[in-house]
Structure 1
Amino acid sequence: MPGPMWAYILAHENAVPLWRSLMGPTKVFRARHSDPDSIRGAYGLTDTRNTTHGSDSPASASREIAFFFPEFDEQRWYEQDEPQLRRGQLYYSAEERVHRVLGPQQAEVQIQGSAGHHCCPCPQQCPEWISSGSRVSSHRSESCCPQCC
């Protein structure tokens, strides 16, 4: 029996090509030989059980996001949440397994340093990690969340 399935919305300037690169070729046989360190190369079983899926274009991503997350308002995210994300005003909710944007009062608490977890004190490292496909050893710290570091 297969394990649980998780759906995520990945946010990055080049999310589609970066994620597709990390997944590796769709055909598991090809992935194992041409890109063995990719997700599919390492964990894929067959072409229909290749461990992961990713949209092939931003338009496909919008359709798939609407299907899996009908409550998600993509336009509102781009207008309100995404600018805050770029400023680093977010936290990782381990219970929900998602990044959340800090409210104004939460952001003030984070700045004062009295809050617990905050995400990525050095966010410039995360794009490097995503594009290189390997963790940056100097980046991981207790204040980093497991999803982005």
Structure 2
Amino acid sequence: MSKIHVTTTVNGDETEFLCDPRETLLDCLRNQLDLTGAKEGCGTGDCGACSVTMDGTLVCSCLVLGVEAQGKTIETIEGMAAGGELHPLQRQFIEHAALQCGICTPGILVAAKNLLETNPDPTETEIRYWLAGNLCRCTGYDKIVRAVQAAAAEMRETA
């Protein structure tokens, strides 16, 4: 089977790769572009460990074909820190001990960033609803929710 040439923007950089027409975006990110932050937890879109944004929409990259990235803008966890400085969400996750093993954390951070870009002042219920597609087996969710609330407050203060 012949490979397909894909041109896309990943974390602000125009990027090209070749992929099998049946290859997932997750596999392309990890194996073609060496962006290993998104993890495969389930392969069925149920855990959120592979969450990225595509043209501003949160997607499970295990359910998107790599060829669908053609002409799109993809953001991964690797693009979250700007200029070597941690994003407020990343800092607050550390300060609130909202991460442990690291499998779910990249997907949760990408999802939380997507939430705060659309709703800079979410309620606890809205945060829990938005993150419902991201499963964490280690921390529970209270620390994660508190970290998102703290990051939202910090981002509103500096806006």
TM-score scaled by length of structure 2: 0.24
Structure whose CA Rg is larger: 1
Larger relative CO (CA 8 A, sep 6+): 1 or 2? Answer: 2
Structure whose residues are more often strand by fraction: 2
